[in-house]
Amino acid sequence: MTNLTPVVATEASWNDEEWDHAAIGTLSCADDGIFKTRGSGQLLSGGLLPLDLDQVAGVSPMTVTHDGDQAHPRPATATANQAGDSYTNPIDVGLLSAINLPLTGGSLDDLLSLPLATEVGAVNQYALADGSGVSQGASGVVNDSGVVQTDNDDNGNLPTLGTLELSTLVESLTGEAVSGLVASIADLDLEIGAVASRATLDACDAAWSNDVDSSLDREYAIAGLAAAVDAPLLVGELAKDLRDILMPAVSNLQSQLNTIAGQGGVLTGITGGLGDLLGGVLGGLGLGNVGLDDISITVDLISVVEPLLHATIEDQAGIVAIDLQAGSIRVDLGALLGEAYSGDRFDGAPGSGLNGLAPNTELVVNAQVTSALITALTNAIDDWVATISSSLTDAILEADVHASISLELRALIKLAGVSVKVDGTLDELLHGDAVVVPKVDIIVGCPLNLLSCLIEGVVSSLVGGVGELVGDTLRLVILDENTGLVPNLVSTLIGTARAALIPAIEALETVLVGFLGVNGLVSLRANVQNDPGAGRHPDPDPALTYPDWEDGSIPDGQYDVAALSVGVLNVLGTTANINLELARSSVGVSCAVDGVLDREGRCANY
């Protein structure tokens, strides 16, 4: 082992110059027993009027202190890991129902619902403290080594934590239901994806460098965050309006298809096209009367669009989803706010998300966010109309088409009559796969051998091309993007459907701003840190504000990080302790065993 130059080990603030009296000795960071350290991880932290979660069995933190001789885990029943001086103590989700919550008169799981089948590791609590100066705390979706796990579950989905009943919490505090803010909205929940944080401190390295920044690391991860709005009245009215808009339009389209022969362009398209089709094979014959004896397209468009009136309307970016059947709206705050704050995804890749944000970033629904919300809602209704268009188009392409066509072959007189029947789906017609059955009636007295040769070419051309001719004509009349019946219906629907969405936009904007706006009832912060200037983290965005952790109980030399904090009553003029911190990790205070005395006794209880 290489001996290091003797230094004075001190637990005074890292950049503080002062006189002190202490023994001078050799300090090697490879030695054990030179520091008293502390690490802690806690999935659920904070206070819920007047409940202090730090003191509640079942959700209390996993804490390890080291007195220089040995590690002391709390609780003592924590599981020791193979790595020395580290322990884990996952919370027991089933115990939440046994924790009484004076705030609501119920239990903690009435307010914060964590599924009993929570993913393995999603509720873990980890702590390490050793005598060489290294301490670490981790919580949330972390493994038994304190490493943050950012993998999706076995189904490829982001892992989840649980649901916070926001409207229940606010109503318990204010006596006012969310319907008092927006009459058409019954409930508002905050769906929280898996969260994680980790804090690591090497106090010996910090003492050597006289700089905590290079020896302290705090990180966090949030898999997702969504506002779940229960609004049966609002969504029910939207569903009714959409039905009133859609069904008459589709019924009219159905009537047009039922009388397709009378639609402009069908008769002229087919009869005129026959001349072009047969022009090269008539020889000395002429084309006499051409008749479209019958044409039909069989499809039930009402049954095609009916399920869409019970479907989920959502934008392709996945920001908003309106469930017409359940009467609910879900807003992915991770995508919505993450886009506004330029956050990364859960796996660290660039893109819309809530990760990689500067310390204490306030997740506020401001004008920029509401503008993005309106855009997402508009895109969602446009995508719904586009789904109607594609569903109608697919159904019409698969519809059965029957056509009967007759024509005369003439010289100076009528020589023969040819009839042809065409059957198949419209898609089969367009691809030349229709069933075409010709029939020829030859007039007696004609030179049969000559006429037969001429007719053979006509019939061959009919069989080979009349199906596509009928199909192309119907496609042009029904599906052409500029003049077709379906595109015309869709262009009308877009405007009327957007208009029907306006009440939902206004209500959703009101409730989200009321709860999560600048002066909202609820405050959300990501990457919550005390003393955010210490340690490595993303540089703050000068355009945003980052308040320090509002917790005077954190002593100097202790460094905490929480993935997410949810504060209530921040704007209601009360001092009640309503702040829930999720995935909180802590390291420090660290004190040298030898050297300057711990005059304030900060590590005396280690």
3-state SS, 226-278, equals EEEEECHHHHHHHHHHHHHHHHHHHHHHHHHHHCHHHCCCHHHHHHHHHHHHH
Q: Are residues 209 and 269 in the same domain?
A: no
Is the residue at 365 inside a domain? no
Q: Are residues 288 and 413 in the same domain?
A: yes
What is the separation, in whole angstroms, between the first and last Cα of the chain? 28
Residues 6 or more apart in contact with residue 501 via CB below 8 angstroms: 238, 377, 378, 381
Is the residue at 342 inside a domain? no
**End position of a domain, from candidates 467, 491, 515:** 491
N residues, the chain: 606
**End position of a domain, from candidates 471, 491, 511:** 491
Is the residue at 348 inside a domain? no
Report the pLDDT value the prediction gives residue 8, as an integer from 0 to 100.
39
Q: Are residues 421 and 469 in the same domain?
A: yes
Q: What is the pLDDT of residues 43-88, one digit of tens each?
A: 988 876 556 676 666 688 999 999 999 999 999 989 999 878 999 9
Q: Are residues 451 and 548 in the same domain?
A: no
CB atoms within 10 A of CB 120: 13
Cα–Cα distance, 200 to 134 (Å, whole number) = 7
Q: Are residues 281 and 429 in the same domain?
A: yes
pLDDT < 70: residue spans in the chain: 1-27, 48-52, 54-58, 95-109, 115-122, 153-156, 174-176, 279-285, 411-415, 442-454, 457, 535-552, 569-577, 595-600
Report the pLDDT value the prediction gives residue 6, as an integer from 0 to 100.
34
* Structural domains counted in the chain: 2
Report the pLDDT value the prediction gives residue 549, as an integer from 0 to 100.
58
Q: Are residues 72 and 209 in the same domain?
A: yes
Is the residue at 436 inside a domain? yes
* Percentage of residues in the chain having pLDDT higher than 70: 78
Report the pLDDT value the prediction gives residue 158, as an integer from 0 to 100.
75
Q: Are residues 562 and 426 in the same domain?
A: no
CB atoms within 10 A of CB 5: 7
Distances (CA, A) of 591 to 70, 289, 354: 14, 106, 35
In the structure encoding, which two tokens stand for residue 446, read together?
A: 């004609």
In the structure encoding, which two tokens stand for residue 589, read together?
A: 């205070």
Residues 6 or more apart in contact with residue 339 via CB below 8 angstroms: 352, 372
Report the pLDDT value the prediction gives residue 101, as an integer from 0 to 100.
62
Cα–Cα distance, 580 to 53 (Å, whole number) = 9
Q: Are residues 108 and 253 in the same domain?
A: no
Cα–Cα distance, 71 to 370 (Å, whole number) = 50
Q: Are residues 214 and 68 in the same domain?
A: yes
Q: Are residues 459 and 579 in the same domain?
A: no
Report the pLDDT value the prediction gives residue 532, as an integer from 0 to 100.
79
Is the residue at 278 inside a domain? yes
Report the pLDDT value the prediction gives residue 595, as an integer from 0 to 100.
52
Is the residue at 140 inside a domain? yes
CB atoms within 10 A of CB 575: 6
Report the pLDDT value the prediction gives residue 2, as an integer from 0 to 100.
35
Average pLDDT across the chain, whole number: 83
Is the residue at 389 inside a domain? no
Q: Are residues 429 and 295 in the same domain?
A: yes
Cα–Cα distance, 532 to 83 (Å, whole number) = 29
Q: Are residues 118 and 215 in the same domain?
A: yes
Domain range for 205 is 35-153+197-221+526-592
**End position of a domain, from candidates 491, 510, 544:** 491
